A = this chain, B = another copy of it.
Amino acid sequence: MGLDYRVRCCPDGLVTDRRRRIRVLDCTIRDGGICNDWHFDEDLVSRTAAALDEAGVDYMEIGYRSRDGAFSREKNGAWRFCDEATLRRVLPERRRMKVAVMLDVGKADPEDIPARGESVIDVVRIATYAHQLDEALRLKDRAQSQGYETFMNVMAVSTLDPHEVDACLKRLAVSGVDNVALVDSFGALFPYHVRYLVRKYMNYLGEGIKVGVHLHNNQQQAFANSIAAIDEGVDFVDATVHGMGRGAGNCPLELLLFYLDNPRYDVRPILELVDEYATMRDELRWGYHLPYAITGFFNVHPRAGIERMSRPERYECRDMYEKLSHRLDQEAKEAI
C-alpha cells in the first residue's frame, strides 16, 4: 500500500520508489544544540537515542567532538564535546543505529580521534567550508585510518561559484570519503537548485560515494527540498525531531518518516518525543520566522536574523530587508 491511497485524487504510481532506498540521519542533538548551547540533559538525550533506535533511524549525530580548550565547558553543554564516558551513559547498549559525531575544521584535533575499538562512535562527520578542504581531508584521513566511516559536509554551498563547487567535488571524488552531504546552511535553495546540485554531486562523486542532503528551513523549503533530492536519487537525508535547529531549523524527522512510508521505519516513538520538543520550541523559537526567511532569501548567514529575533517588541523586518538589499546592490556594483 503506497502513499497515494490516502490522497485519492491522484492515481497510484506517481511516487518514485526512490524514497524506499533512503537512509535517515538524525542530527537533533548536534544541530538542535546550536539553539541551546547543547544544554540537553542526559535523560532527554538518552530517551531521544532510544526513540531514534526504536524508530529505525540509521544514524544519530549526537554532537560535536571538540578540541580541549576550543570552547568553554561552562558555557556549552556536554554535546559540544561528546566525551566518550558521556556517550556511553546515554546510548542504548544494544542498538541498530550508528552513532556519529561531527568535527568542525579548526575546532578539532586529529590526535583526539581514538581508535574505533576504543569508542562507541561509528561515524566521523567533518564540517568544512570549501576553503578549508585541505584541513578537512587531513581530519578525514586520520578518522579513516582509525577505522571510522567518514562523512563530509561542505557548508554554505549556496555562496560558492559553480567552478568552486566543481573543484571541491573533484577532490572529494578521489578522497576515499564514504559520504558527502549537499549542505544548504543558509536555507537559500529552492527545489530546482537542489535538483541541479544533487545531479552535479552524484555525477562527480560516482558510485562509490554516497550522497545526502542537509537542508535548512528558512524559506519553508527544507522538507520540500528533501523530497526533490529523494526524487533525484540521493542516498540519505538529514532531519531533526520537530525540525529543531539553528534559526529556522531543519527538515522535521516526523514529516520525513511519514513521507518515506517505509516499513523499515516506525514514526511512533518520534511522535512521543515531539510533544516534549514542542515545549522546547515555544521557548527557543526555532522554525519559520520572518527574520530567518530574509537571511535565507538574501543567502546570508542566519546571525542577522538571530539578532533581530532577540529584539523585544518588533523585528523591524522592513529595515532589515532594506539594509540587506542595499548591501547586495553595492556588492553587485563592485563586482562589475
Contacts and interface: CB of A to CB of B under 8 A. Distances in A.
Interface of A: 1, 5-11, 14-15, 157-162, 164-165, 188-193, 196-197, 217, 219-225, 227-228, 231, 242-243, 252, 254-255, 258-259, 267-269, 271-272, 274-275, 278, 287-290, 293-294, 297-299, 314-318, 321-322, 328, 332
9 contacts: A10-B193, A14-B196, A191-B191, A192-B231, A254-B290, A255-B293, A258-B297, A268-B322, A278-B315
B193 A7 contact: yes
A145 to B, nearest CB: 32
Contacts of A242: 290
Nearest to A6: B299
Given A271-B321, A317-B274, A9 B197 contact: yes
A196 B11 CA distance: 9
Given A8-B161, A220-B220, 16 more contacts: A6-B188, A7-B188, A9-B165, A9-B197, A191-B227, A220-B223, A220-B255, A224-B224, A224-B225, A224-B227, A258-B293, A271-B321, A272-B317, A275-B315, A275-B317, A278-B315
Determine the main DSSP class of A at the interface with B. helix
A213 to B, nearest CB: 14
Nearest to A325: B268
Given A161-B9, A162-B10, A271 B254 contact: no
Contacts of A267: 321
B255 A316 contact: no
A7 B158 contact: yes
